[in-house]
Amino acid sequence: MDRDTTDRRILRTKRMLRQALTELMEEKGFEALTVSSLTERADINRGTFYIHYQDKYDLLDKCEDEILKEFERIVREGFPTQQNDYRKLVQTDPLPHILKLVEYLSDNSAFLKTILGPKGDPSFQEKLKDLMKKNLTVLIEQRLSDSPIPTDYLIAYVSSANLGVIQHWLKSGMNESPREIALILSRLTILGPGIEAGLN
Amino acid sequence: MDRDTTDRRILRTKRMLRQALTELMEEKGFEALTVSSLTERADINRGTFYIHYQDKYDLLDKCEDEILKEFERIVREGFPTQQNDYRKLVQTDPLPHILKLVEYLSDNSAFLKTILGPKGDPSFQEKLKDLMKKNLTVLIEQRLSDSPIPTDYLIAYVSSANLGVIQHWLKSGMNESPREIALILSRLTILGPGIEAGLN
DNA sequence: ACGTTAATCAACACAGTGTTTATTAAATAG
DNA sequence: CTATTTAATAAACACTGTGTTGATTAACGT
């Protein structure tokens, strides 16, 4: 079996480091933290860090990828297959897979709040938007009639907008329930800029 | 007179450093560059750097502030005072102050492309969105009827969306003219999510 | 219980930081 | 044009953090 994913010592080391990363990012942002501070906080020898990760950027990458993988899984499994008109549904209920996504955001809010905040990682924002774009492309292109606005700009607009809502939620203290946010996202995506852009 | 803003030696030093910053950011991103590489590129003694700036973050801050100041000036001077219905105008023409803004973006595209890209500075994105929010608040709140979506989320949505359009433009090689982009922004802001959100 | 291997500790050269000193060269005021 | 001011330079300093290595200890899986 793959020793790398079963040996409890390895799992512990990685778990501690990811925990330390989340904590230290919250405290002083990603750029201000060092490998030394990371290993000290995790109570891990500094040399051990370099067995598993190249540098702090590598550690961050791995953590981000874990989150993104889970996002993709949720979207893949829950994506609406049949082509419905959601404009009625969305008056009162969020799209189910969007709700699951927001719930997952909520579970990882400590990490995400920092990584999507002003001291965070803009490349993660882009990865997240790319994920949304992939799905929006399907959703939008099949319903697009003749918009005076290029499709790629429309998609950039909506995906960035969704990200903005999520960022605002995390930043302002998550006062709304995941369901409320999922509903906001669903409504804005389905009903929002669509009308103006010439969707039918 | 304020020696700090007239002495040609000082102006030259700052000019060279800001030039070097833009170049090196394009080449390897902000975090990867060092004060040493900056001063080497600018052909400036490293000690001189510390006379004018605390560290590389301070230099970045000052550069960003310069851009933001100019944004604010453009918005302040060009912001529509009387309350019009722009839905007709915007079918064919961008709002004038948005056009001016996009033209300024175009003039500083080298710097902005990097700072708003995946290796850039997320705090600048936030500052930019905050600027937009301030103006959108005026524009939206006075026209808002009864939206089922909280105003602050609506504003976060639109400002983030506008930023996304700008980022997409810069990233994809600026194939559209400033006028085209300004028109896209104007249309989406005035006509876009407004209808759904209950604007009149 | 055994062989394997992850984690530790200490040491290393190295790159970059931020500061200081004396010295040189350029700018401005008169 | 000259005198005076002051910005820029060059060289050195201690310091922090990096990334790697080799020998030793301790925990793991079978």
Least confident of A34-48, A127-141, B86-100, B137-151: B137-151
CA distances from A88 to A126, A187, B76 (A): 31, 10, 41
Residue A140: its H or E element? helix A122-141
Phi/psi of residue A144, nearest 5 degrees: -80, 130
| Chain A residues closer than 8 Å to B161 by CB | 157-158, 160-161, 164, 193
Q: For residue A59, what are its two tokens?
A: 């550690």
pLDDT for A75-99, tens place per residue?
A: 988 877 666 667 777 778 999 999 9
Nearest chain B Cα distance for residue A1, angstroms:
37
pLDDT for B48-67, tens place per residue?
A: 999 999 999 999 999 999 99
| Chain B residues closer than 8 Å to A120 by CB | 122
| Chain B residues closer than 8 Å to A148 by CB | 187
Least confident of A42-56, A88-102, B174-188: A88-102
**Nearest CB neighbour to A188, from listed B157, B168, B169:** B157
Residue B194: its H or E element? helix B192-197
With an 8 Å Cβ cutoff, are A118 and B126 in contact? yes
Which pLDDT value is given to residue A31? 92
pLDDT for B129-158, tens place per residue?
A: 999 998 888 776 666 656 778 889 999 999
Spatial CB neighbours of B124, under 8 Å, sequence gap ≥ 6: B64, B115, B116
Give A142's pLDDT tier (boundaries 50, 70, 90).
low
Q: How far apart are CA A125 and CA A115, in angstroms?
A: 8
The domains located in chain A, with CATH, are: 3-53 (1.10.10.60), 64-197 (1.10.357.10)
Which pLDDT value is given to residue A57? 97
Question: What average pLDDT does range B180-196 have in this prediction?
Answer: 77
Q: Which nucleotide is nearest to A45 (CA to C1')?
A: C8
Conformational region of residue A49, where left means phi above 0, alpha means psi within -120 to 50, and beta covers everything else: alpha
Average pLDDT value for chain A: 89
Which pLDDT value is given to residue B197? 39
Least confident of A111-120, A168-177, A183-192: A183-192
Axis-axis angle for helices A8-28, A56-78 (nearest 10) = 100
Give A67's pLDDT tier (boundaries 50, 70, 90).
very high
Q: How far apart are CA B62 and CA B65, in angstroms?
A: 5
Integer distance in angstroms from CA B132 to C1' C10? Answer: 55
With an 8 Å Cβ cutoff, are A187 and B31 in contact? no
Give A198's pLDDT tier (boundaries 50, 70, 90).
very low
